[in-house]
Amino acid sequence: MAENLLAQNLFSLRGKVALVTGGGTGLGKMISKAFIKNGAKVYIASRNKKNLQEAAIEMNSLGGPGECFPITADITIKEECEKIANKISERENGKLDILINNSGMAIVNPLKEIPEKSWNKVYKLNVISVYFMTIACLPLLEKASNAPEDPSRVIIIGSVAGEIEGDIKGIDIANRTSLVYNTSKAAVNSLARNLAVYLTPCGVNINVIAPGVIPSPINAKFLNKKLVIEEIPQGRLGNEEDIAGTALYFASRAGAWVSGAIFRVDGGILLRGKELGREYAIATKSKL
């Protein structure tokens, strides 16, 4: 009895079809692996064909129960977003249950010399492609939806950078700023909340996962782990389980009644009063 409340059922993705952009590296790969382990068929899409194929082979060797298929595409080109959606539609009877808009890029520039090229490149991938990818997949998501009980899902991988003014200590960017990246991630928060107004009544829920710092190719060059950890009240960087657990919640029956949320998974890096908290912990020898 009450089998519906077992974690293995509430968080299951058995029979679901997912598309993860940038699913061949970093956070996208962590999420794809978790989806495959929990039963989903996962399409991973990005530009680097070789890397995608290798990632798919690796993930298909995990023993299922789900499986992985690579699609090579540049999602900054609207027609390529449509190509991805058409391929999935042909193979999956016009249906897609979960879209993870994960592909993204970071850039750092001197504050007074940010070239137009930086603005255009970052906004094209981090914001505009999220819109076109979502719209291209919308008919598939609507067809797959079991709303209101279990709607289709769009999940955007935003960032705590979308709520930050300035740069995180320990991201070593030598007198440059990630202002362009930060503002692009603030923009996708707004994009998600706006889309949620229109898509939720159509049976497609949309949410943002805003991660803190998780070692991956995007930050490999900039990350001073020791300094960043000092900024995180919980005292550690994020990892595969942290991002995978959050994505599973938003994609499965467990998160079916959430839309328009911006959800931080960051070890508390944006919490105010953390210095006071640390002083208190030292004074009382408590770990709080």
Ligand X SMILES: NC(=O)c1ccc[n+]([C@@H]2O[C@H](COP(=O)([O-])OP(=O)(O)OC[C@H]3O[C@@H](n4cnc5c(N)ncnc54)[C@H](OP(=O)(O)O)[C@@H]3O)[C@@H](O)[C@H]2O)c1
What residues line the site for ligand X (CB under 6 A)? 21-22, 24-28, 46-48, 51, 74-76, 102-105, 125, 157, 159, 211, 213-214, 216-219
CB of 170 to ligand X, least distance (A): 12
Q: Are 60 and 68 in contact (CB under 8 A)?
A: yes
Query: What tokens were used for 211?
Result: 């991660």
Query: What tokens were used for 233?
Result: 């009240």
Q: Residues 239-249, buried b or exposed e (16+ Cβ, 10 A)?
A: eeebbbebbbb
Query: Of 73, 64, 70, nearest to 91 (Cα)?
Result: 70
Indicate the residue among 105 and 254 with the shorter CB distance to ligand X.
Answer: 105
Indicate the residue among 48 and 200 with the shorter CB distance to ligand X.
Answer: 48
CB of 275 to ligand X, least distance (A): 23
Q: Which of 131, 181, 198, 249 is catalytic?
A: 181
Q: Count Cα neighbours of 266 within 13 Å in the Cβ-side half-sphere.
A: 23
CA–CA distance, 63 with 201 (Å, rounded to integer): 37
Indicate the residue among 87 and 253 with the shorter CB distance to ligand X.
Answer: 87
Indicate the residue among 212 and 255 with the shorter CB distance to ligand X.
Answer: 212
CB of 144 to ligand X, least distance (A): 22
Indicate the residue among 67 and 74 with the shorter CB distance to ligand X.
Answer: 74
Indicate the residue among 102 and 152 with the shorter CB distance to ligand X.
Answer: 102
CB of 236 to ligand X, least distance (A): 13
CB of 282 to ligand X, least distance (A): 28
Is 181 assigned a catalytic role? yes
CB of 219 to ligand X, least distance (A): 5
Catalogue the active-site residues.
Answer: 181
